[in-house]
Amino acid sequence: MNQSVAIVTGASQGIGRATSVRLARDFSAIVLVARNTAALAEVATAVKSVGAEPLICGLDLSKPEAPETLVRATLDRFGRIDALLNIAGAVPQIDLFEMTDEQWQAGMELKLHGARRLTIHAWDALKASNGSVVFMSGSAALDPKPGFAAVAATNAAIIALAKAFAEQGIKNGVQVNSIVPGAVMTGRRRSFLEKWAPAHNMTVEEAANKFPEQVGISRYGQAEEIADLLGFMVSPAAKWMTGASVRMDGGEIKGV
């Protein structure tokens, strides 16, 4: 395996964890980024077992200084950055008419602004390696609802931001895309269902089936399925793909 380095944010759980382990098959080093360093240590063990060298970076990317710290740590250790997977960030699901300005801003600070800052700080290294960037959006961007207004606005902004970076990337030799996953069964979603189900006189299994039925999909997606798509998007096989917004949602979005 040639020396190649991927940064994965939000690596401690869910899609970020699955992606870190998946990329360990193709990259020689994986930089694992999240606030929960204890969880990252477990992911690092999994990454190492696949064959890549892990680097744990316990950082809160909503802090303006964190991206520079992360890029410096990566370059000091490995000397290069070949792929950046901007996965971190969860925006609260609060009704449009109840959400405060502070809640709105807090939701955007990590997922949108953290990813923007990190991509800018990593850009020179990505130019040097002709590297790849993927931003994580979500299906709410394409189907906004009042209870998901901040989620939808943030995810739509991410798609636009990725397009802007992609235009610059054409000039600089950096590939930039975004991914739009639908409902994926992660630990966070399961925890929500475990709290929601008893309050609605359902078992967790019944609650887990309710949403897919409502939106017309056969099941929840799995984090590993999204990770496989991300692995392809930063592989040599996908190098001509840039400025794309790739949807993987089990058919949730019905429009063209």
- The DSSP-derived string for 186-219 is -HHHHHHHHHHHHHTT--HHHHHHHHHHHHT-SS
From its phi and psi, is residue 147 left (phi > 0), alpha (psi between -120 and 50) or beta? alpha
CATH number at residue 47: 3.40.50.720
Closest CA to 35 of 6, 70, 4: 70
137 and 198 together in one domain = no
Question: In terms of domains, do 116 and 202 share one?
Answer: no
Do 67 and 171 share a structural domain? yes
Tell me how long the chain is. Answer: 256
In a domain, 18, yes or no: yes
Q: Is residue 100 part of a domain?
A: yes
Residue 8 near residue 17 (C-beta atoms within 8 A): no
Q: Which residues of the chain fall below pLDDT 70?
A: 1
Per-residue pLDDT at 49: 98
Within a domain: 239:
yes
Q: Are residues 151 and 97 in the same domain?
A: yes
pLDDT the model gives residue 144: 87
Considering the domain architecture, whether residues 17 and 32 belong to the same structural domain is answered as yes
**What would the pLDDT profile of 63-95 be if each residue is shown by its tens digit?**
999 999 999 999 999 999 999 999 998 887 788
Q: What is the pLDDT of residue 103?
A: 83
**What pLDDT, on a 0 to 100 scale, did the predictor assign at position 239?**
96
Please check whether residues 127 and 208 belong to one and the same domain. no
- Structural domain that includes position 101: 5-184+221-248
pLDDT computed for residue 147 by the predictor? 79
Total domains in the chain come to 2
Residue 102, pLDDT score: 86
Cα angle for residues 163, 62, 102 (degrees, 5° grid): 100
- What's the confidence (pLDDT) of residue 1? 62
